[in-house]
Amino acid sequence: MEQRTVGHSGLRVSRIGLATHTWGSHTDTDEAAVQLVAFAEAGGTLVDTSPTYGGGAAQRILAELLGDLVSRDDLVLSGCAGVVPGTVATSVDPSVPAREPAPPTIDASRRTLLRQLDRTLLELGTDYLDIWNVAAWDPRTPLDEVAATLDYVVRSGRVRYAGVRGFASWQLASLAAIAPISVAQAPYSLLARDSESALLPAADHHGVGLIASAPLAGGILTGKYRNGVPADSRGADEATAAEIRQRLDERATRVVEALVTAADGLATSPLAVALAWIRDRPGVASMIVGARDIGQLTGVIAAETLELPRAIAAALDDVSARTQ
């Protein structure tokens, strides 16, 4: 798998990264082990995790696999902090029904960021993270405090490169002007191209590399929803059904049909075409792709070798832009 430099830094990552957000929920430890080994054997290095994935289970599973199956030194581990999961109010009275957990809280204070970083390092059994991201913009915490925290963790060696997730262009520019930011992670796909207008130019100006998240738009760009909602898909999952169904509009239909046409002509899958299009966009260092099982991951890895003809890339660019 080809490696790329992230922005103006010396950080190099595989141009496909492995997301672990399904680990502990839809992907058990044995399946996760198969995925991690296959990913590493294909030359993949970038592995993305978070204390919130799988209710915390994803990091615990990754910790079990590091060292035994894949050397820590062979991976570029990306983590984050700044989102505090909601708690569930419990009662000693069994007749009182359990309540839904409270929504997560955004907290990028120095205290919370450092506490979550320390817990992540301890849980993963490593002295450092290659990439550590502020998970969300926190309007309650002074920007100077966030910047000072990032500078401290990089200088202390616990973090090799600092980054942000889900920041708007002005938020990225504001922080990158005073902090050692090397990475920006944001949604980017044929159905989510907002980053092109402001975030990508801001990132380029500050020497920050973009890592695209959700490059398959929750699975929509694989074409799996063309003839309905599969029972084992995110569109059938109560937790994500509303979001997926809301995005299954006329624009999505046009883009997916264009992907299917391109895939048929190239004797490949719509998934591979969608990923190749994102992979080749200016400013994109890598993309984070999750898979529930090894079958899905095999399809993702296969996209690495697809060379997308310029005419097809331009046609996809056009249909995606015209239908925004």
DSSP 249-294: SHHHHHHHHHHHHHHHHHTS-HHHHHHHHHHTSTTEEEEEE--SSH
- Taking the CA of residue 95 as centre, how many other CA atoms within 13 Å lie in the half-sphere pointing to its CB? 0
> So what's the pLDDT on residue 93?
55
Domain borders along the chain are 3-219+282-306
Tell me phi and psi for residue 47, to 5 degrees: -125, 125
CA–CA separation, 260 and 268 (whole Å):
9
pLDDT in tens, the chain (324 residues): 999 999 999 999 999 999 999 999 999 999 999 999 999 999 999 999 999 999 899 999 999 999 889 999 999 999 999 999 876 544 455 565 655 667 889 999 999 999 999 999 999 999 999 999 999 999 999 999 999 999 999 999 999 999 999 999 999 999 999 999 999 999 999 999 999 999 999 999 999 999 999 999 999 999 988 865 655 555 445 555 576 677 788 999 999 999 999 999 999 999 999 999 999 999 999 999 999 999 999 999 999 999 999 999 999 999 998 644
Say which DSSP state 166 is in. S
User: Architecture of 3-219+282-306 per CATH?
Assistant: Alpha-Beta Barrel (3.20)
Angle at 290 between CA 181 and CA 81, to 5 degrees: 35
Region for residue 155 given its phi and psi (left: phi exceeds 0; alpha: psi -120 to 50; beta: otherwise): alpha
C-alpha dihedral, 46 to 52 to 55 to 61, nearest 10° = 30
Contact between 186 and 136 (Cβ < 8 Å): no
| Amino acid at position 306, single letter | L
The position carrying tokens 């990158």 is 176
pTM of the predicted protein model? 0.90
Look at residue 91 in the predicted model and tell me its pLDDT.
47
Query: Distance between CA 176 and CA 170 in Å, rounded?
Result: 10
Per-residue tokens: 249: 């509009």
pLDDT of residue 301: 95
Question: CA 101, CA 228: separation in Å to the nearest integer?
Answer: 31
